[in-house]
Chains A and B, each alone.
Chain A
Amino acid sequence: MIFRKSITTKFIATVFALLLIVQSLGTIAFLLYIRSSFFEELQTRMNNAALIMSGASSYPLMSYDFTQIDTFLEEVAKDEEITSIHIFDSKGKTVREKIKVGDAEIFSLNPFYFKKGMQVSAPVNSGSSKIGEVTIHFSGRSINDNIKKSMGIIMIVQGIALMTLGFFMVYFFQKNIKRPVQEINSTIAKITNGDLTATIPDLGDNEIGSIAKGVGVLELRLKQMIAKINETAMNVGMAIKRVDHTYQIASEGISSQAVAVKNGIRSIQLANKSQREVSENIEKLLNFSTENVKSLFEMKATAEEMSSQTERLFRSAEDSYSVVLEMSQSSKSISAHSGEARSAVEDTSASVEEIGASVREVEAYAIDSSKIADTVKEITSGVGMMSVVNAVEGMDSISDQVQKSAEIIQRLGTRSVDIEKVLSVIRDVTEQTNLLSLNAAILAAQAGEYGKSFSVVADEIRALSERTASSTRDIGGIVKTIQKDIKDAVHAVDNAKLKVDDGNTLVVKVGEALREILNASVQSSDMTKAIERATGEQSLGLKQITSAVEEIRKVVVGVTKSTKEQENALSYLLEGVGDVKEVAELSKRSASEQAEGARIITRNIELANEKINQINTNELNQKKVNTEIIDAMENINSIGTVTMENMEEVSNSLSTLVREIEALKQEMEVFKIS
């Protein structure tokens, strides 16, 4: 595996193969050159041999001295190269020949491809005429031997040379290239795995050294960038924590607002209850006062009747008096008039009875009236006033709660401004992260193959920063909505405040009206007491009248019975009638007093009635205002709910943000930078 991958091995193998090819080609060329030069030499030698042979054989041939030729032949044939020598005469007939090796054998001696029939010829001359020819056949055996020998030597020498060269090359590559490259490789592998603390040693001032420096610079930039990203992530984390904190405060604010609003609504409900009580009491009062007026009217009528009856009584008494006077003056007509007097007395008695009944009625009415007035007084001063006080307190607590709501909402407003500030910090940080991720992507792309893993991280960071940006935009929108809600809530609270103020004024008015009613009913009560007293006195007077009339009747009966005793009885009668007159006058005074009292009472009752009606209208207004307050409170509550929902959305966005930042942190934890 290593051998296939290593550039060094590949390079050395290629150089070896090239050297081998070049050396082989050189060797072949060299051998070819050697062969041709040897061959030329051989041919020259053979030519010379042929020439010597022909020169030497000219004479023996002429003289047919074949033994000498044979000796020559033997001598020349000693040369190893010569395979055969033939001597022909002028007619081409073989004269002598010496054959050492056959043609087949020659070929086996010639592995380096020499022509089979290598031969030289020389004419044998005698003078200028040709008398024969010498032909020598030869082989290239010595050349073959020589080539074989030199091939062996060349191979050995080349082998040694190549081995040495190879050894030096491997040594050089190991020392100067392979080891430094491996070091760079292992460092880059560490960096790729995220260990940015790995350092590259100084590898000298050559190409590999500059690559190492480049990797070092790249690593430094990566380190700086990761440190920046870490810092950014921490900033974002802190910012989010601040947002979270602010959000929690805002949340608490909203919850306490909700509680305040609930308290407000409860107070309003309490106030409403008090109001209802007031209303009920007032209705009761109204009923009572209607009854009162009815009773009073009846009483007034009875009193007036009584007054007229009393008048009649008075007149009757005066009549009686004048009659008695007349009687005393004309005793004669007494007797005649005694029947009349008796009927008049009886009339008087009936009238007095009637008056008595009327007075009793008046007394009963007065007692009723007094009781009613007392009840009114009690209701007005007791339950009524308490209800009013309750209502005022309720209104005050509503006002208080509304004020609290307003403060909380204002605080909420400032908090949302805080959130906006923090959001702008997050926006800034996000932009910076985005920029860093772009630069990281550029660096990764320029680092080529080794930057791939870092480029994945850069992409991830960019995606995160984009998600963060969109979350931040969402939160911004939500915060804007919250701010609008808060503005609405402030408006609603202001409205509620106005309504509460209106309610307060109305309650105070109701209180004043009740106080006036109280005054009026106290006065009425006093008056009815006076009437009661007057009717009591009247009753007493009437009893006296009744008894007087009874006496009169007895007297009249006595007069009728004994006209004789007339003169004696006359003075007595006069005295009795004077008593009657006195009592009648007292009765008359009491009746007119009573009538005056009834008039005052009526006026007071009418005043009270008017006030009660006024209270009733105020009450209705108050009810309307209360309904409006409840509406406003519910409005605040619903706005609070919406705000709460928005806050929850913010919370969700924040937790998304936190998760994203956590993810970013985890991404970054892969890198060790110190």
Chain B
Amino acid sequence: MAKFTIFNISEDVFGIDISRVLEILRVQKIFSIPGLPGFLTGVMSVRGSVIPVMDLRLRFGIKPVDNSKERIILVRYGEEKIGFLVDVIREILQLDSEEIRPSPSIFKGFKTEYLTGLGKKGEQIIILLNIDNLLTSEEKIWLRESKELLEDNSAGTGKTAQ
């Protein structure tokens, strides 16, 4: 039994375990700064701290479409935080253990390593993401080591924001 933040990317429905979610934010100004690796869209400023943002749609090879309901899910990654850009936040949903099934070898073209399982609520199939596997090990290392780079650049981004 666990609670999940349920959201959409295109037509597909995904879930992230709520224990890893810190906050849901409106899309705000995202700054691209020099030296940022390709998997990040940019960084944003949340209550004074600078947080990298990754577009989950790009990670899943889906072209982002402009919509007003775009949101950022702020997620804890060990000591670090990262924001995932998604299409629509739907709800906070509780799934009992019998409603969660192990993922098949391949589901809708998503790599199995991205998934922890499939949630089933009524007719709805929810792809439960294993967010630890969303980033490659190099990306994780970058994220861990990036703190200084982000702090250095935060002063600069602060100016651009004004």
Contacts and interface: CB of A to CB of B under 8 A. Distances in A.
Interface of A: 431-432, 435, 438-439, 441-442, 445-446, 458, 462
B116 interface: no
Contacts of B26: 431-432, 435
A439 B24 contact: yes
A442 B5 contact: yes
A289 B18 CA distance: 100
Interface in B60-85: 69, 71
Contacts of A432: 26
Nearest to B17: A445
A435 B24 contact: yes
Contacts of A445: 3, 18-19, 92
Given A435-B25, A445-B3, A462-B91, 13 more contacts: A431-B26, A435-B24, A438-B24, A438-B89, A439-B23, A439-B24, A441-B92, A442-B5, A442-B18, A442-B22, A445-B19, A446-B18, A446-B19
B33 interface: no
Contact residues of B: prevailing secondary structure: strand
Interface in B26-60: 26
Contacts of A458: 92
Nearest to B7: A438
A441 B6 CA distance: 12
Contacts of B89: 435, 438
A439 B74 CA distance: 11
18 contacts: A431-B26, A435-B25, A435-B26, A435-B71, A435-B89, A438-B24, A438-B89, A438-B91, A438-B92, A439-B23, A439-B24, A441-B92, A442-B21, A442-B22, A442-B24, A442-B92, A446-B18, A446-B19
Chain B: interface size category? 10 to 19
A469 to B, nearest CB: 11
A265 to B, nearest CB: 47
Contacts of B3: 445
Contacts of B71: 435
Contacts of A462: 91
A255 B18 CA distance: 54
Interface of B: 3, 5, 18-19, 21-26, 69, 71, 89, 91-92
Contacts of A441: 92
A95 B162 CA distance: 124
Contacts of B91: 438, 462
A445 B91 CA distance: 13
Nearest to B24: A438
B29 to A, nearest CB: 17
B114 to A, nearest CB: 22
Contacts of B18: 442, 445-446
Contacts of A439: 23-24
A266 B52 CA distance: 72
B76 to A, nearest CB: 11
Closest 10 CB pairs of A and B: A441-B92, A445-B3, A445-B18, A438-B24, A442-B21, A439-B23, A439-B24, A442-B18, A438-B89, A435-B24
Nearest to A458: B92
Nearest to B25: A435
A462 B3 CA distance: 16
A625 B128 CA distance: 72
B6 to A, nearest CB: 10
A424 to B, nearest CB: 11
A581 B5 CA distance: 132
A432 B69 CA distance: 11
A435 to B, nearest CB: 6
A439 B24 CA distance: 6
A453 B92 CA distance: 15
Nearest to A438: B24
B67 to A, nearest CB: 12
A431 B67 CA distance: 13
B95 to A, nearest CB: 12
A167 B77 CA distance: 46
A458 B19 CA distance: 17
B60 to A, nearest CB: 22
Nearest to A221: B23
Best-surrounded residue of B5, B22, B89, B91 (most CB of chain A within 10 A): B91
A440 to B, nearest CB: 9
A435 B25 CA distance: 7
A432 B68 CA distance: 12
Nearest to A459: B92
A431 B25 CA distance: 11
A432 B19 CA distance: 22
A432 B89 CA distance: 12
Contacts of B69: 431
